[in-house]
Structure 1
Amino acid sequence: MTEYFTIESQEGERIDRYLSEELEDKSRSYIQKLIRDGHVLVDGKTVKAGYRLVAGDNIAITLPEIKEPEIPAENIPLYILYEDKDLLVVNKPKQMVVHPAPGHYTGTLVNALMYHCGQDLSGINGIMRPGIVHRIDMDTTGSLVVCKTDSAHQSLSAQLKEHSIHRIYEAIVHGNIKEEEGTVNAPIGRHPTDRKKMSIHSRNGKNAVTHYQVLKRFGDYTYIRCRLETGRTHQIRVHMASIGHPLLGDQVYGPKKCPFPKLQGQTLHARILGFIHPSTGEYLEIEAPLPQYFVELLDKLMYNS
């Protein structure tokens, strides 16, 4: 597979850094190896990893095909919120990874879907991500749509691309947000020094907009609802941390020591998912109830406030 890029505003940046930020799932060392092996061309010529980009450069990067392993179907219980012949919406639990990755080929949502749906999953995203249109983090809970047919997948992907899917999340953040509502409009890209993190300070950040609304204040914490205009990696986590209100339990973008030791990762739940059904053309909205841990935490905060 070959991907193409044209340089506009990144003049002077190293090509290996630029490509590692554009291809978020590829490490910089992997990109450097592709460059050394001649898989990266600038205007048809090979370059070195330290090549500085020039406006107008046309980059072609060829990604060698990786032989993907067989993914076993596993009888893992699914909390299905909605299902028909075209798609299903599941309520993903905490600690469940959406799709397999190197070194992690079992126990994922995909393994469970392959058991539940058999061959009835869209093949557009390949063996590792059958039916998967979008994903949420391992410790984020809530609604996630899965496509059974390629036509449904194409329809939902187009809606995601044009930002027309209605996505509402609920979260608990550190601090007392004074205003009733607000918007964070800050591009998000790979962190300049830590590839495992995203940041609003990336040189190649992509447009990202999060609207938030206060639902309840608990003194040192605030219960909020967020509406996504875009769907960047870690978007809510990065945006709320950027305004001084990281998500409770998020040890990547927030305090390293969590005040509630039993929490497993960030308190973030994909509450509502709404989209145009690919077959009926009608608007469909699915709501995922809050998980028990979230409800109990709200009760505890209410009691202590």
Structure 2
Amino acid sequence: MQQQDPKSKFLTFQQEISQIVLPSQFNYPFYYEPHPLCIIAADELKEYLLNQTDFEHNFGLDSKTNGLVIGKMFGVMVVQNQEGKIGYLAAFSGKMAGRNNHQYFVPPVFDMRAEGSFFLTGEIEIHQFTLEIERIETTQEYLKAKNKLAELQETLKTGVSDRKVTIQLNKINRKLIRHENALIKPEEIENLEAELSQLSKDEQIELKKFTAYHKRAIEIARSEFKVFEDQIFQLKDKRAKGSAALQQRLFENYAFLNGHGNKKSLLDIFVKDLRTQPPAGAGECSAPKLLQYAFLHNLKPIAIAEFWWGQAPPAEVRMHGHFYPACRSKCLPILTHMLDGLDVETNPLLSQAGSEEQVKVIFEDEYIAVVNKAAEFLSVPGIVLTDSVKTRMKARYPDATGPLLVHRLDMSTSGILLIAKTEEAHKFLQRQFINRSIHKRYLAVLEGIVEKDEGEIILPMRVDLDDRPRQLICYEHGKYAKTTYKVLDRKDNKTRIHFFPHTGRTHQLRLHAAHALGLNAPIVGDDIYGEKSDRLHLHAEWISFVHPGTGERMEVEVEAAF
């Protein structure tokens, strides 16, 4: 990796690139195939990461490296300077080796940890509140008042409970005395009854006195303890307000340029435009850093790509060295602003062709239809795209009642979908899905070799809140997900496999295939958990269900196009 100017982050290519044609448009960063120049730039950056001595960071690639394992997303962006020279910029997400500024890499959009920055000063001020709270909570006076209140509350609770038990036992005892003395003289019975009644009253009076005394003592102790609580509450309130004010100021200072030279802060992009708080780490990803540096230094953006380097976080699927799209929750709002003014490719997912082959009816009668959905076609209408299996079926069966679609497939997955023409048929089929009496089989081709011939995968799943629709493995909040599989053959470092899902979680087969705790072999063409290709090689090829009209079990199979 070489630079023209040590102070500049403009990097020159080490190999000859004059014969490589530049792209006509800047690539759409959320769905792309890396341009050849981006691949060369990424390879040079990877070579640097393997051999550099500028910093020490444990990516989890070398067991001899110390420190917490933290893999990183890196980005490269091919740019053209004012002299017409083609080079590239490099960036990393967040911090690396405890710093956010490193040689060769573009700086952060805003360096909150620069010496003397308002953020560091503000953090110190906020930390003083924490230190003062901790000081109060460790004083003898605070601990004495806290313990006194707790002891009195426990004494009242235990004392009342013990006395109530005693009263109940005495009541039983008095009942026995009455029974034993039932045959004595009437005047003696009257005296005995008066004596027993007085004992009962005395017990109730003693309980009330005990309760009243200790409640009063607790009120005094609580009042003494409240002096400390009020001090702590005021400090926590000042800390919270200071933290919120510091956060707002930080949002204002993260200001992003766009292709027109206009600026927008995180506050403008998220709070004002989207009416939501920016997610943690917004603006710290590679893509915003690269574009910001290019705009500030009059460099023309040509193409961008991002790749993962190192071990993946335990819950996620990130393949070392693989390219990935920009994240959506943090980067989509920011990049929507920053790319304004550039000639950017249209989102490929918005350019569906209207071919009849995308939804092919393979069986139908008065109750149901069975269709074969093409890959990269929606099951139901989206926010932007409306063409879908559901809209096609509404047009084909205008008199149908009920929701039509009984289940869905991911947009990228091809294969069989069941359509119910009546509400009764829909409910009948839905019950089978709920009872898991409908059986499905998927065909997939995986990158890599699966050693076991068959098995099961049980990994709980939930959505990645920071990067929808990506899913995570999560044992705390995830939903139960089970898949069984059977290998068909292995060839050219690929595995053809049958999947049998027992649950129907979003991206279940894709995540279970790709995750290290699953098969550790992403499906070919999986642009989310693996690498983009001509298509996702996942096809719902067979389904078995009880027909809502005949009551007989029916099987349908459709061969995959790959």
Question: What TM-score do you get using the length of structure 2 for normalisation?
Answer: 0.36
Q: Residues 202, 97 of structure 1: CA spacing in aligned structure 2 closer, same or farther, 3 A cutoff?
A: farther
Q: Is the 1:75–1:116 contact (alpha carbons within 8 Å) kept by the matching residues of 2? A: no
Q: 2 CA distance for matches of 1:232 and 1:271?
A: 18
Report how many residues are paired: 209
1:224 aligns with 2:505: no
Tell me how far apart the structure 1 counterparts of residues 456 and 371 of structure 2 sit (CA, whole Å): 28
Shift of 1:281: 1.3
Gaps of 5+ in 1: 1-28, 35-73, 124-129, 295-305
Aligned to 2:43: none
2:364 to 83, 87, 109: 83
Q: Show the 5 A alignment for 1:62-211.
A: 76=356, 78-105=359-386, 107-120=387-400, 122-123=401-402, 130-191=403-464, 193-201=466-474, 203-211=476-484
- Deviation at residue 157 of structure 1 after TM alignment: 1.0
Task: Supply the distance in 2 between the matched residues of 1:203 and 1:147 (Cα, whole angstroms).
Answer: 37
- 2:183 maps to none
Q: 5+ residue gaps in structure 2?
A: 1-270, 277-353
CA RMSD of aligned residues (A): 2.2
In the alignment, which residue of structure 2 is the partner of 1:277? 547
What residue number does 2:513 align with?
Answer: 240
Using the TM superposition, give the Cα deviation of residue 33 of structure 1 relative to its aligned residue in structure 2, in angstroms: 8.0
Maintained 8 Å contact 1:190/1:202: no
CA-to-aligned-CA distance 1:154-201 (integer Å, 9 cap, x gap):
111111112111100000011111110111011121125322211222
Taking the aligned partners of 1:276 and 1:235, their CA distance within structure 2 comes to 24
Deviation at 1:76, TM superposition (A): 3.9
Q: 1:202 Cα deviation (Å)?
A: 6.2
Q: 1:236 to 1:154 in 2, by over 3 A?
A: same
Amino acid aligned to 1:115: A
State the TM-score, normalizing by the size of structure 1.
0.64
Mapped partners of 1:248, 1:213: distance in 2 = 17
Rounded to whole Å, the distance in 2 between the matches of 1:227 and 1:152 is 24
Give the Cα separation in 2 of the matches to 1:92 and 1:197: 22
Higher helix proportion, which one? Answer: 2
- Bigger share in strand: 1
Question: Superposition pairs for residues 289-304 of structure 1, below 5 Å?
Answer: 289-291=559-561, 294=562
The question of whether the paired residues in 2 share the 8 Å contact of 1:189 and 1:202 is answered with: no
CA displacement 1:229-281 (0-9 Å, x = unmatched): 111111100111122111010010113xx4xx5x13x2000010111111221
2:545 is paired with a residue whose SS is: strand
- 1:284 maps to amino acid: M
Distance (whole Å) between structure 1 residues aligned to residue 486 and residue 411 of structure 2: 24
Separation in 1, partners of 2:412, 2:502 = 21
**2:471 and 2:404 mapped to 1: Cα distance?**
26
Select the residue among 267, 270, 281 that pairs with 2:537.
267
Please give the alpha-carbon distance, in whole angstroms, between the structure 2 residues aligned to 1:282 and 1:274.
Answer: 10
Separation (CA, whole Å) in 2 of partners of 1:220 and 1:213 = 17
Tell me the amino acid that sits aligned with residue 381 of structure 2: P
8 Å Cα contact 1:75-1:115 kept in structure 2? no
> Which is greater in Rg?
2
Which residue of structure 2 lines up, in the alignment, with residue 288 of structure 1? 558
